[in-house]
Every structure is written in C-alpha cells, then in structure tokens.
C-alpha cells in the first residue's frame, strides 16, 4: 500500500507526534515514568472540584445536557458562549468586541493549522508568503502546519544573561525584516517552550511593524492573559482588529475537552467558521458548556488569578531550586521563569545533541523534549538549539525531583 505525498508527510514523524506518543506511552506505563516532556497541565485540586461541580450542574439540567451532546453547534461555536466571552472581555479588558469577533475551535492545534494556512502560501498577486516567527525557540506544534511545505521564517533572539545561572531571550528588533513575502507574524506569550514573556514594549513594537505592513500579528495566549494567566511578570492583555488573539481552556486543566478560542476581526472569524464546517462540521460543545457559567460570572478570571497562577508560580521556583542542586558544577543556564508550565535549560557546550540526550534520558524513564524541535523556520544552524531541553514542572513534585536528578546525572556523563 502506498500513501500520497500528504500521507507520507503525516507518517514521516515529527516533534509534535513524538511528544504526543510519549504522553500516551507514559500514561500507559502508569507511575513508572518521570513525564517531564509533555504539555499536560498539573492536577490542581480546587480546579478539579470546580469542573466536577460544573459537570453536576450540567447533568442536573436535562434539557441543556441533551442539547450539548445531541446537537451540532454553529461552525463558529455556541452563540451563548461567544456572547458571554465577548461580554467578559469588554468588562475586564475594555475591548470593543462582540460575539461576531469570537470563534470556538477544536483546540489550539487546529486553530493554528487554519490561521497559518490562511496567511501563508500563494496569493492572487505577489510572491508566496510565509509566517514570520520574530523569536525562536517557539511552540513545537507550529512546525508541521504547512503539511510538507516550509511556511515559516524565523529570527534568532538575543540572549541576555541574568544573574549567575539564568538568562532571557529578547526579540532582536534590529534584525526583524518584514516585506511582501510575509503574510502574518506569530508569537506566543508566554512562550512555549521557554516561559519567556515578551514585554509590553516588545509586543507594541511588533504590533507597529505588522500594522505598517498591513498584516496581522497572531498572539498565542494559551498560557497567558486574561486566562489562564500563568504569567509571573507584568503583562497587559492587548487586542485590536490588527491582532488575532488565540486562547484555550486546556491550561486551566481541561486539555481533554479540546476547546480553542479565537478573538479577531470579523473576516477572520468568518474564515475560522468556514474551516470548522469543512474540517469537522462544528467545534465541540462540551468545553464551552462546562465553562459557560465560569465565563458569565467571571469566575474564570478569579480562578486564573487566585488558583492557577499561584500553583504554577510556586512549582516553577521550587523546580529551579531543585535544578540548581542537581546541575551544580555543570555549564547550565535556565531561562528566567516568567510563565507557562515549563523550564528551558541550556547546557552550553553540550558534547552530545539534545536529541541524543533525550534518547538517553528516555532509556532511564525520564521524558523531556529535545531543543532542536522548537526552531521552525530558522534556516542557519545554530549550536545553541542543540544544547537545550524543555522540562515540564507541572506534574508530581517527587517525580519532577527524581527526573531532574537523572537529567543531571546524564549531562555529567556527557561532559565526562
């Protein structure tokens, strides 16, 4: 049996396929794996209680429950959910939006597949266009959205040492080149994999650049403001019709409901709805139904600020302390923890590639993600991208400590 080129591309393997396979195999193995590589959010008791209560409320309303599971939503998503979210964002952020500016998708991965293909490739006039990533490393799930064609171009960041063992990536605005070959710019805030949070000034500079070129800035806020607000530094939520804002319910603790959200100008929302209809008829109803009350009451903001953010803030800095013990004497730096649920570790001068380090760690039951996978569109080779790994600190604290200790052991062996 032979596959088409499309089929060959899907089955050739990629970073995101490897990540999700690792998540599945770690789950199948039960407690025998230190899963520090996946994107699963942590188990936050107060959030899980909230979700269970929301589920009971939904079940206690038979007509509503039957409608949720028995009817298709609009291709743009449930109208009441979109109205409620628009009202929440008007009230809390001051944005001039309505339900016409909101679309629901089947998770962020499908969101970005559609958005990237809306703004890259062949246009009716002019050259083919690409998506510009102004800062790499960037999210591993972006890389294969072009389905076999290269749709990204990317900038290398500047690296700023912070103290003795931290560092921070910054957008190199002087190296940023945007012309008619760029269809859109995309950046995550906070950034997956590094936890980097672009400053308000950096975001404003990128907005100005995109506005001057007449292209959208796609801002991936899956971990950011206004929810789940896993941000440990100052960052104001921003929106205007030159921005495409992407959010998610996953990192609140609901990755299984596969609910993504897009806030954008009406033509983009119409395109998202058309894509939903063609690809899946409609987005799923369960996530919006489960969190509708939280959005109508504003609980989603309070939960983000008072429960979710403090949980991850504590775990992030506890894990940094563990790493400082485990990596003492090694040439390491950790990206300054500013948000998201990962730490990005740079072993400068690592004698083996991060892919090889990943393999050695996996053989010992510790799953991380190799740094090479997070640099889509960066054409020139750069030793730095072979010297980094992404480590999730969201899981069980004991497993995180065990896994970090083993990482330290394997890196010492590599340098020996």
pLDDT value of position 273: 96
Gyration radius (Cα) of the chain, Å: 21
Interatomic CA distance for residues 339 and 317, integer angstroms:
11
Average pLDDT, the chain: 93
Residue 45 tokens read as 């008791």
Model pLDDT for residues 59-114, shown as the tens digit of each residue: 999 999 999 999 999 999 999 999 999 999 999 999 999 999 999 999 999 999 99
72-298: CATH, from 2.60.40.1120, 3.40.640.10, 2.60.40.10, 3.80.10.10: 3.40.640.10
Three-state SS sequence of 22-67:
HHHHHHHCHHHCEECCCCCCCCCHHHHHHHHHHHHHHHCCHHHHHH
Cα 179 to chain centroid distance, Å, stands at 27
The one-character DSSP state at 74 is: P
* pLDDT tens series, the chain, 416 aa: 777 777 777 777 655 566 556 655 555 455 578 999 888 999 999 999 999 999 999 999 999 999 999 999 999 999 999 999 999 999 999 999 999 999 999 999 999 999 999 999 999 888 999 999 999 999 998 988 887 778 999 999 999 999 999 999 999 999 998 999 999 999 999 999 999 999 999 999 999 999 999 999 999 999 999 999 999 999 999 999 999 999 999 999 999 999 999 999 999 999 999 999 999 999 999 999 999 999 999 999 999 999 999 999 999 999 999 999 999 999 999 999 999 999 999 999 999 999 999 999 999 999 999 999 999 999 888 999 999 999 999 999 999 999 999 999 999 999 98
Residue with token string 């990317």: 154
5-47+303-415: CATH, from 1.10.3720.10, 3.30.2010.10, 3.90.1150.10, 3.30.450.40: 3.90.1150.10
Three-class secondary structure of residue 412 per DSSP? helix
pTM listed for this prediction: 0.92
Interatomic CA distance for residues 392 and 212, integer angstroms:
38
Q: Using alpha carbons, select from 347, 378, 394, 389 the residue that is nearest to residue 142.
A: 378
Residue with token string 């500013």: 338
- How long a stretch of residues is the chain? 416
Q: Using alpha carbons, select from 325, 335, 403 the residue that is nearest to residue 364.
A: 403
pLDDT value of position 221: 97
Residue with token string 């102004």: 134
Cα 278 to chain centroid distance, Å, stands at 24
Q: Spell out a b/e string for 186-207, using b for 16 or more CB atoms within 10 Å of the CB, else e.
A: bbbbbbbbbbbbbbeebbebbb
pLDDT value of position 380: 82
Residues linked to residue 345 through DSSP beta bridges, in sequence order: 334, 389
Interatomic CA distance for residues 367 and 8, integer angstroms:
27
H or E element at residue 19? helix 15-28
Three-class secondary structure of residue 369 per DSSP? strand
Topology alike, domains 5-47+303-415 and 72-298: no
Domain ranges of the chain: 5-47+303-415, 72-298
Interatomic CA distance for residues 105 and 220, integer angstroms:
14
Residue 81 tokens read as 């959910």
Residue 205 tokens read as 């500079």
Model pLDDT for residues 372-409, shown as the tens digit of each residue: 999 999 988 899 999 999 999 999 999 999 999 999 99
Distances from the Cα of 115 to the Cα of 128, 209, 307, angstroms:
16, 19, 31
Residue 203 tokens read as 């975001």
């Amino acid at each position: 049996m032979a596959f088409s080129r499309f089929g060959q591309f899907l089955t050739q393997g990629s970073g995101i396929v490897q990540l999700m396979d690792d998540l599945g195999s770690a789950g199948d193995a039960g407690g025998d794996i230190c899963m520090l590589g996946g994107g699963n959010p942590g188990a936050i008791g107060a959030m899980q209680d909230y979700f269970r209560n929301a589920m009971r409320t939904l079940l206690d309303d038979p007509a509503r429950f039957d409608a949720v599971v028995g009817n298709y939503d609009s291709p743009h998503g449930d109208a009441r959910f979109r109205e409620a979210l628009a009202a929440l964002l008007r009230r809390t952020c001051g944005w001039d939006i309505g339900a016409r500016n909101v679309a629901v998708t089947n998770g962020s991965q499908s969101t970005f597949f559609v958005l990237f293909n809306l703004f890259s490739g062949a246009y009716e006039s002019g050259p083919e266009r690409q998506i510009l990533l102004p800062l790499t490393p960037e999210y591993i799930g972006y890389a294969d959205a072009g389905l076999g064609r290269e749709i990204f171009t990317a900038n290398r960041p500047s690296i700023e040492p912070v103290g003795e063992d931290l560092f921070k990536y910054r957008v190199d605005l002087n190296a940023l080149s945007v012309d008619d070959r760029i269809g859109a710019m995309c950046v995550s805030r906070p950034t997956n994999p590094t936890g980097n949070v672009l400053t308000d000034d950096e975001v404003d500079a990128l907005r100005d650049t995109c506005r001057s070129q007449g292209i959208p800035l796609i801002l991936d806020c899956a971990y950011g403001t206004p929810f789940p607000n896993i941000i440990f530094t100052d960052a104001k939520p921003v929106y205007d019709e030159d921005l495409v804002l992407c959010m998610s319910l996953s990192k609140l603790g609901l990755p299984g409901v596969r609910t993504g959200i897009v806030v954008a100008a009406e033509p983009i929302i119409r395109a998202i709805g058309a894509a939903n209809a063609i690809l899946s008829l409609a987005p799923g109803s369960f996530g919006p139904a489960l969190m509708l009350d939280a959005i109508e009451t504003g609980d989603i903001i309070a939960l983000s600020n008072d429960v979710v953010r403090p949980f991850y803030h504590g775990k992030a800095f506890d894990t940094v302390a563990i790493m400082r013990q485990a990596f003492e004497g090694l040439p390491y730096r950790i990206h300054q923890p500013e948000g998201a649920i990962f730490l990005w570790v740079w072993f400068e001068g690592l004698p083996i590639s991060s892919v090889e380090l990943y393999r050695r760690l996996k053989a010992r039951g510790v799953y991380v993600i190799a740094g090479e996978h997070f640099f889509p569109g960066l054409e020139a080779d750069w030793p730095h991208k072979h010297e980094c790994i992404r480590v999730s600190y969201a899981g069980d604290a004991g497993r995180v400590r065990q896994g970090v200790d083993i990482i330290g052991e394997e890196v010492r062996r590599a340098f020996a």
